[in-house]
Amino acid sequence: MRLGLLVYGNLETRSGGCLYDRKLVEYLRKQGDTVEVVSIPPKNYPCNLAGNFSPVLRRRLADLDVDILLQDELIHPSLVFINRRYRSKTNYPLVSIVHHLRSSEEHPPALLWFYRRIETSYLRTIDAFIFNSQTTRYEVERLVGNKAPAVVATPAGDRFDSGLEEAYIAARAEQGGPLRLLFLGNLIRRKGLHTLLAALSEIKNEDWLLRIAGCRDVDTVYAREMEGLVQSRGLSSRVIFLGETPDSNIVSLLQNSHVLVMPSFYEGFGIVYLEAMAYGVVPIASSAGGGNEIIQDNKNGLLVKPGDSTALESQLRHLCRNRDILLALALSARRRFDEFPGWEQTCARIHLFLHSLKMNL
């Protein structure tokens, strides 16, 4: 089977969506399929829209020799008009890999209306969908209905290895010292680092340490704002900015952390929650988006409303003071991880779906 995949930038970018796409490409090639990755330079939204009229991109797509053309949905602004033009001129289906919708994020009302119009127009040009969660599927079908073939293939948490044994997790929870908190993600507003810092500034009397591992170059203004917030709130001695962190160091961070705190305003799924659970690290996530498909509140993790620093403060204070509760959540989180498929199973599910599409052409 010959496939094309359209993405912004390259598949080595540190994000859950790029990891998903990269794992899929690796699996498909291992099965003997040909996958041609077409990279589109990422720009701001208006410039991406203007890319629809680029003769270079149009020629590049016209020259593709594929059975199926995959598109990472994040590149929708660059393809919304191109797809309309070429859909009637090609004999292969357009399949969108949807990690989460831009229009599911928080934006000013006028801008949200604009994004929703563009995104809906793009989604209507697609012949079939690959969704990373039931939440993402619901959001798409709410905009364009459910007539197109689709598969839900949840991401996996076994990128590093199979995680830790319960005995290690128990010993870690019971040892003395500060509650070791981890924020693992790009420093962008949607990830909610400011909510976490606001919560921590109210529990300075508790024993905790926060390590922040994530790229600051995606939104340098926000990153500087967070660094300033740490200083102004008097948290510098207990908040450590590690910057972008290689995978080998991420494993060490997970092995030595108690709680992953990622109160994002929206996640289509949240691979990082599942990866943390493999190490018995208790995830605290937003109740908005796909996190609630992974985390069962107060059983194997905790959920907070987006932006609710007061609720987050209460949860963190409770964990600082109750290591027995931390232990119960950590062990339950490790067991919850085992209920999810690995990357091999997830990609096999997509592979079968793509072959069924080809057979039905």
Query: What one-character-per-residue DSSP string does 52-119 give?
Result: GG-HHHHHHHHT---SEEEEEGGGHHHHHHHHHHHHTT-SS-EEEEES--GGGS---HHHHHHHHHHH
217-231 pLDDT per residue, tens: 889 999 999 999 999
Q: Do domains 2-156+342-359 and 166-337 have the same CATH topology?
A: yes
Dist CA 332 CA 353 (whole Å): 32
Q: Domain-by-domain residue ranges, the chain? A: 2-156+342-359, 166-337
Amino acid found at 20: Y
* Amino acid 50: pLDDT: 92
Tokens coding 72: 């990472």
| Tokens 């859950």 found at | 16
136-154 pLDDT per residue, tens: 999 999 999 988 999 999 9
152-200 pLDDT per residue, tens: 999 999 998 778 899 999 999 988 899 999 999 999 999 999 999 999 9
Residue 275: pLDDT over 70:
yes
pTM exceeds cut of 0.85: yes
pLDDT band, residue 87 (cuts 50/70/90): confident
* Amino acid 288: pLDDT: 87
Main-chain dihedrals φ then ψ at residue 271, nearest 5 degrees: -55, -35
What average pLDDT score do residues 332-360 get?
Answer: 93
What average pLDDT score do residues 13-33 get?
Answer: 91
Cβ neighbors of 341 (< 8 A, separation 6 or more) are 154, 156, 349
Dist CA 156 CA 142 (whole Å): 26
CA atoms within 13 A on the CB side of 262: 32
Dist CA 277 CA 300 (whole Å): 8
34-61 pLDDT per residue, tens: 999 999 888 899 999 998 988 888 888 8
166-337: which CATH topology?
Rossmann fold (3.40.50)
Tokens coding 73: 């949905």
Query: What's the farthest any 2 CA atoms get from each other in the chain?
Result: 66
Residue 289 CA to its chain's centroid (Å): 10
What average pLDDT score do residues 8-15 get?
Answer: 81
pLDDT band, residue 246 (cuts 50/70/90): confident
In the chain, pLDDT over 90 holds for what percent of residues? Answer: 78
* Amino acid 361: pLDDT: 62
| C-alpha dist (Å) from residue 350 to 24, 27, 129, 161, 281 | 8, 10, 10, 22, 29
Task: Return the CATH number of 2-156+342-359, one of 3.40.50.150, 3.40.50.170, 3.40.50.2000, 3.40.640.10.
Answer: 3.40.50.2000
Dist CA 198 CA 258 (whole Å): 20
For the chain, the average pLDDT equals 93
* Amino acid 357: pLDDT: 87
| C-alpha dist (Å) from residue 258 to 73, 240, 351 | 34, 16, 36
* Amino acid 358: pLDDT: 75
